[in-house]
Amino acid sequence: MTSTTLSKSNNNDGIQEISFLQKYGIALFLGILAIIFVYYAITTQNYLTWFNFKTIIRDAALVGIMAIGLTFVTISGNFFLLSMKETAALSIIAFAMCMSNDYGFFLSLMAAVLVAVVSGSIQGFLIGLGGNPIVVTLGAAGILYGLAAWWSDNLVISFRRPNDAEWLGTGSVFGIPNITIAFVLIACLAEWVLRKTNFGRQVYLIGASRAAGRATGHENLMMAIKVCIIASVCCAFVAVAFSAQMSSAQANYFSSSFGSSGDFTILVIATVMVGGNSIVGGFGSTLRTSLGAVFISSVDNLMVLQGFNSGPRVLSVGLMIVFSIIIFAYIRRGSRSEG
Amino acid sequence: MFIKKIFSKDPDLAFAVILSVLLFSIFAFSNPLFFTLNTGFAIMERFAVLGLVGLALTLCIIAGEIDLSIGSNAALAAVIVVRFADSLGAPTSILLGVTCATLIGATQGYLIAYLKVRAIVLTVGTLMLLRGVSLFAADERTVMLTDFAVTDFIQTKMGVFFSPASILVIVLCIFVGLFMRYTKYGREIYAIGGARKEAVASGVSLTRPMILVFALSGFCAGVGGAIIGLRSGTAQPLGLQYLLLAATVAAFIGGVSILGGKGGVVGAIVGTLTVNFLNTGLVFNITPAYVVQIYLGILLLTVILFQTMSVMYEKKLQRRLVLFDTEQLRRKLIATTTKQ
């Protein structure tokens, strides 16, 4: 054990060589996939059009915004939250309840955000104390979904059209949907926060090394609370946008029946992973996440145009996650020694 | 005296037993219908479903990993078993479904050990992958049995509380318990959970126990899925999502630690029974399914809070001990230097 590590670290400062086959195997594999993708993109009718491009980005927006929120959690080394869709469910119910009682858009938005902040800070507190993020958020997911269904009696809550939330859901500027614009703005803002502010650099620091963070006075407790609040608020925003689109809300809007690809939370996590963020923290960016969202959305769109059912589409997203895990495991093995 | 002995030996298990007895007696007192033989049978029927999945998750957590794909794996097994039960006959289809689930588990274990990734990372991917596969296998609709002979058979009452399904589950639990306790392989699984670095340093290969534990958990999930599918006669490719929460609650009540290396089959059984008491009791009081989720979530968070607090407390004690030691050392040094 020790002798091998020594001999390896003698070579070039702890950097292990990955074999020729592995290095070019990965490149070859990705290249083949890219060629297949380009071939189908060109031969599929109506795929490479401006209208379809807008559709792809619009589809990516809802998942993308949530995934941008989750990226903060992932980079800070707290893995991921399994309660994303349940937070959105409770927020959407809070929003629709307020809208149907004519509180106006702003107050309803505030109610949804408040719900998200409270639930996010409680989860963040438990995670920061040292609870496993997966288990904590699994439990929180049960509570949040239960509360949402209980509050709404598991019924659809609809509010009158026209209302002052429609601009967010269905409105557009110069033919570009507002939700797409919001996606781009949020992505830019998140990237700025991560790169340029003190807080963003702390996120990277704590994600890269808990011990280093603690030694420099940055405990994970406050960080976990902050990043969980960010992720939850992103969920609330998506919930509000989605509810504004439908002018209604139900607790299970974000459950398996939503969209094409199985479970919404897992789709969000898939977006973060496929974008190429390090799941153990310290490495990644929201730009990668946004690109991941667009990538998944464009593949999904291509498969829809080719007439695939939901089975192969869910399968393809699953394969994307697993391949990205395998590829990044290889890359990590190549760049950094294990010990 | 006896109780004190048990408490000092295994406080987590004692806590689990007390919790389950407490829950049972609350429901028994609040609703006279709850304390009947038929309810006992119903609880055992629920146990047949959740017991194996809870056990599967317990095994993974003992090895220090969490298998998030357990619900998808069970759903896939259910779909395969129900779909092929008519054409191949029930035993062959059960064999097929369970073999698939076991192989999937073993592959996951191999990948986790080989790629050196955390199980949650990989299983979140396979969660989605297996959903896709089961959608594929079911042709994206709910598959149904046409011949309900097997369904009737596994639900026949044997004894007072038992049916063939629950007896099978109990036998499997006993076998897994013996395996974990008395074989080298079982102890290896405990070792890589509790002290992975130490185990690897002392020559335990990471690959073998990892493959074994995930194959075992896949097997349990597969049998659980087969029982669920055959008993209801239908299987949904997107179903069984609730299993993960319920199984996690069962495992954590049963005394596993998220750090691994703790817990056992007896704990898993007690934990599952506790969840079943809660579930059945709440159904008796006409509670909708989503409210049951609230209770399960609160239960899980409470257990986690206790566990984190106790870990923090132990760390504090350790730190105090170290400080005490250094203080004594300092005094000794001062004493020797002043003598000179």
Distance from CA of A287 to the nearest CA of B (A): 21
> Could you tell me if B228 and B328 lie in one domain?
no
Rounded CA separation A240/A246 (Å): 10
Are B167 and B242 contained in the same domain? yes
- Confidence check on the interface: ipTM exceeds 0.90, yes or no: no
User: Within chain A, which residues score under 50 in pLDDT?
Assistant: 1-15, 258-259, 336-339
- What's the rounded Cα separation, in Å, for the pair A119 and A134? 15
Q: Is the peptide bond before B237 cis (omega within 30 degrees of 0)?
A: no
Q: How far is B220 from chain A (nearest CA, A)?
A: 21
Number of domains in chain A: 1
Instruction: Tell whether B281 and B323 lie within a shared domain.
Output: no
Do B276 and B300 belong together in one domain? no
Do B190 and B241 lie in one domain? The reply is: yes
What percentage of chain B carries pLDDT values higher than 90?
20
The number of angstroms, rounded, from the C-alpha of A85 to the middle of its chain's C-alpha atoms is: 11
pLDDT at B136 over 80: yes
DSSP string covering A313-333: HHHHHHHHHHHHHHHHHHHHH
- Please count the structural domains in chain B: 2
- Chain-centre distance of CA B277, in angstroms? 16
* Surface of B (107-166) touching A: CB under 8 A: 111, 115-118, 120-122, 124-133, 135-136, 139-140
Number of Cα atoms under 13 Å in the Cβ half of residue A62: 23
Count of CB atoms situated within 10 Å of the CB of A245: 16
Name residues 113-132 of chain A within 8 A of B (Cβ). Answer: 126, 129-132
Residue A136 maps to a domain: yes
Residue B280's pLDDT is 85
**Mean pLDDT, residues B218-245:** 87
Say yes or no: B314 and B213 in one domain.
no
pLDDT of residue A20: 63
Query: Residue A146's closest chain B neighbor by CA?
Result: B290
Return d(Cα B138, Cα B94) in angstroms, integer.
16
Same domain, B105 and B47: yes
Comparing CB atoms, the residue among B121, B129, B252 nearest residue A319 is B129
Domain match, B38 and B155 both: yes
Q: Answer whether A143 sits within 8 Å of B290, measured CB to CB.
A: no
In a domain, A163, yes or no: yes
Angstroms from A256 CA to nearest CA on chain B: 7
Interface test with A, best of B65, B111, B262, B290 (most A CBs within 10 A): B290
The verdict on B278 and B315 lying in the same domain is no
Q: Which domain holds residue B339?
A: 293-340
Residues B205-214, mean pLDDT to the nearest whole number: 90
Expressed as residue numbers, the domain containing A241 is 57-253
Nearest Cβ partner for A142 among B258, B294, B304? B294
* Residue of chain A nearest B245, judged by CA positions: A138
Asked if B124 and A273 come within 8 Å (Cβ–Cβ), the reply is yes
Nearest CA in chain A to B68: A134
Range B79-106 burial, b when 16+ CB lie within 10 A, else e? bbbbbbbeeeebeebbebbbebbbebbb
Chain B contact for A315 (CB, 8 A cutoff): yes
Q: According to the model, what pLDDT value does residue B214 have?
A: 93
Assign A249 to helix, strand or coil.
strand
Which chain B positions have a beta carbon within 8 Å of A145's beta carbon? 290, 293
User: pLDDT of B3-61, one tens digit each?
Assistant: 666 666 677 778 888 888 888 888 888 877 777 778 888 888 888 888 888 999 999 99
pLDDT of residue B193 exceeding 90, the answer is no
> What pLDDT score was predicted for residue A21?
64
Q: Does residue A161 lie in a domain region? A: yes
Minimal C-alpha gap between B134 and chain A (Å): 8
Residues B75-105: pLDDT tens digits?
999 999 998 888 888 889 899 999 999 999 9
A86 — contact with chain B (CB < 8 Å)?
A: no
Interface test with chain A among B70, B121, B130, by most A beta carbons within 10 Å: B121
Tell me, yes or no, whether B194 and B340 share the same domain: no
Tell me what the mean pLDDT of segment B102-122 comes to. Answer: 89
What is the Cα A287 distance to its own chain's centre? 12
Question: What pLDDT is stored for residue B223 in this prediction?
Answer: 92
CA distance A326 to chain B (A): 7
Cα gap B7→B16, rounded to integer Å: 11
**Cβ within 8 Å, pair B297-A146:** yes
Q: Scanning every residue of chain A, which has its alpha carbon at the shortest distance from the alpha carbon of B315?
A: A130
Residues B272 and B338 in one domain: no
The CATH number linked to B137 is 1.10.3470
Q: Is the Cβ of A329 closer than 8 Å to some Cβ of chain B? A: yes
- From the list A138, A262, A280, the residue facing B244 with the nearest CB is A138
Neighbours of A308 (CB within 10 A): 15
Under an 8 A CB cutoff, do A142 and B297 touch?
Answer: yes
Is the residue at A128 inside a domain? yes
Look at A138 and B131 and tell me if their CB atoms are within 8 Å.
no
Question: Of the residues B265, B287, B309, which one is the last residue of a structural domain?
Answer: B287
**Contact in structure between B93 and B230 (CB atoms under 8 Å):** no
pLDDT higher than 60, residue B302: yes
Substitution target from A70, A263, A328, A337 for chain B, most B beta carbons within 10 A = A263
- Report pLDDT for B2: 62
Query: How far apart (Å, rounded) are the C-alpha atoms in residues B45 and B165?
Result: 8
* Domain shared by B254 and B334, yes or no: no
Mean pLDDT of chain B: 86
A299 at B interface, C-beta within 8 A: no
